[in-house]
A and B are shown apart, each in its own frame.
Chain A
Amino acid sequence: MVKKRTLAFATLAISVWAALATSVLGYYYLRFQEYVNLSREYEAVTMKVDIYIHYGNETNGIWHNNTIVPLGAALLNATGLVADSQFTYWSELGAAFIDSLDGVANNVTKGKSWFWWYWDTTSSKWILGEVGANQRMLHRRDIVAWTYQSYEIWPPPPPS
């Protein structure tokens, strides 16, 4: 049988926890509202895009949905926001090509490289990018993908 005294102190402890939890909840709600307002404020100069990265291994890739990027950003800039990216700029082509993403680098020996794709909403298909990542300007709600795969089979299969 639990003593009345123990029950009283347990009730007191639970009340403190409840009040504190409510306060913390309120705090995070306020912060959330701040971010919502901030995102509304910047809506005119930003856009949201979905970026998928598949590292060429057995596991599924990673989706970076609703990534907020500056309006008029190129795929290269947007990629830099979601992954640690290294690239080389080819001045004769005016194009930048990715050398590595998150430490996974192009590999001539294995015949593997990074490719980018965009989702064509009209045909509902992935289309292979044909220009440098810096030349692909993004638009609101664009869906793009990076895949690390072999270039020995051409064209490479689209992201699954």
Chain B
Amino acid sequence: MPQLSVRQLALLSVLTAVSLGIQLTPRPPNVEFTSLFTFLVGILYGSLVGGFFGGFVMFVNGFLSPWGFAGFIMPFQIVGMAIIGFAGGTYKRYVVGVHPAQVSAEVAVLGAFLTLLYDTITTVGVAVQSTIIYGIPWHISLIATFSAGALFYLVHIVSNTALFGSGLIPLIKALQRVPGGEALWSKKELLHSQH
């Protein structure tokens, strides 16, 4: 784990609280902001913190979600969201010198892909659960679950594509000012005292 300054740690705590707050608020099915925040944390703090952040939010969500206790699906949700955080940190390495418009387009595509990956992982979880509980062959259960959930995936992927494409860059720009912002704030205080 990287060493974090107090300010970075405080921001991370705020982001965790915001993600959990939104995640636990009743909302339309499969419209969520946790993926966006997890990817963002991955970009700001690196793959490990991003992965841990996503996993932690889904762990708490597993117990307190308005949809009820996640149960058997929880480990799959944790892994799926951790991958999104990890991907954020990995993508950061390839983004230097790229035009912001291109980054927006790329993260929109990444958002769609990672959401699909997350949905696939959780679908595997549901299929395995059906196999254990109802004794349905797991591949049949997987195909049936993958087909039955199509409209949910559609909503999830479309909403996350839009969120990643339009929200990530403004969020990065806003949040990058907070950690290591002593110089900026001192300058503001100085300006304030001069008036």
A17 CB, min distance to chain B CBs, angstroms = 8
| A11 CA / B50 CA spacing, docked (Å) | 25
If the complex has contacts A12-B109, A16-B109, are A27 and B116 also in contact, measured as CB distance less than 8 A? no
A158 CB, min distance to chain B CBs, angstroms = 47
Contact with A along B46-59 (1 / 0, CB 8 A): 00000000000000
- Chain A residues within 8 Å of B, Cβ to Cβ: 5, 9, 12-13, 15-16, 19-20, 23-24, 26-27, 29-30
* A23 close to B109 (CB less than 8 A): no
If the complex has contacts A9-B105, A16-B157, A20-B157, are A27 and B113 also in contact, measured as CB distance less than 8 A? no
* B113 close to A30 (CB less than 8 A): no
If the complex has contacts A12-B109, A16-B116, are A29 and B147 also in contact, measured as CB distance less than 8 A? yes
A27 CB, min distance to chain B CBs, angstroms = 4
Interface size grouping (class) on chain B: 20 to 34
Interface presence of B143 (CB below 8 A): yes
Interface segment, one of B26-34, B64-72, B148-156, B181-189 = B148-156
A78 CB, min distance to chain B CBs, angstroms = 33
Residues of A within 8 A of B124 (CB): none
- Chain B residues within 8 Å of A, Cβ to Cβ: 94, 105-106, 109-110, 112-113, 116, 120, 143-144, 146-151, 153-154, 157
Residues of B within 8 A of A16 (CB): 109, 112-113, 116, 157
SS of A interface (majority): helix
Top 10 nearest A-B pairs (CB, nearest first) are A26-B147, A27-B150, A23-B150, A24-B150, A16-B112, A13-B109, A9-B109, A27-B147, A12-B113, A30-B147
SS of B interface (majority): helix
B3 CB, min distance to chain A CBs, angstroms = 32
Identify the closest chain B residue to A26 (Cβ). Answer: B147
| A16 CA / B119 CA spacing, docked (Å) | 12
Identify the closest chain B residue to A24 (Cβ). Answer: B150
| A29 CA / B109 CA spacing, docked (Å) | 27
| A43 CA / B106 CA spacing, docked (Å) | 52
| A23 CA / B146 CA spacing, docked (Å) | 6
Identify the closest chain A residue to B161 (Cβ). Answer: A16
| A44 CA / B153 CA spacing, docked (Å) | 38
If the complex has contacts A15-B113, A16-B112, A16-B157, are A23 and B149 also in contact, measured as CB distance less than 8 A? yes
* A23 close to B147 (CB less than 8 A): yes
B171 CB, min distance to chain A CBs, angstroms = 20
B102 CB, min distance to chain A CBs, angstroms = 8
| A24 CA / B149 CA spacing, docked (Å) | 8
- Give 27 CB contacts A-B under 8 Å: A5-B94, A9-B105, A9-B106, A9-B109, A9-B110, A12-B109, A12-B112, A12-B113, A13-B109, A16-B109, A16-B113, A16-B157, A19-B116, A20-B150, A20-B154, A23-B146, A23-B149, A23-B150, A23-B153, A26-B143, A26-B147, A26-B150, A27-B148, A27-B149, A27-B151, A30-B144, A30-B148
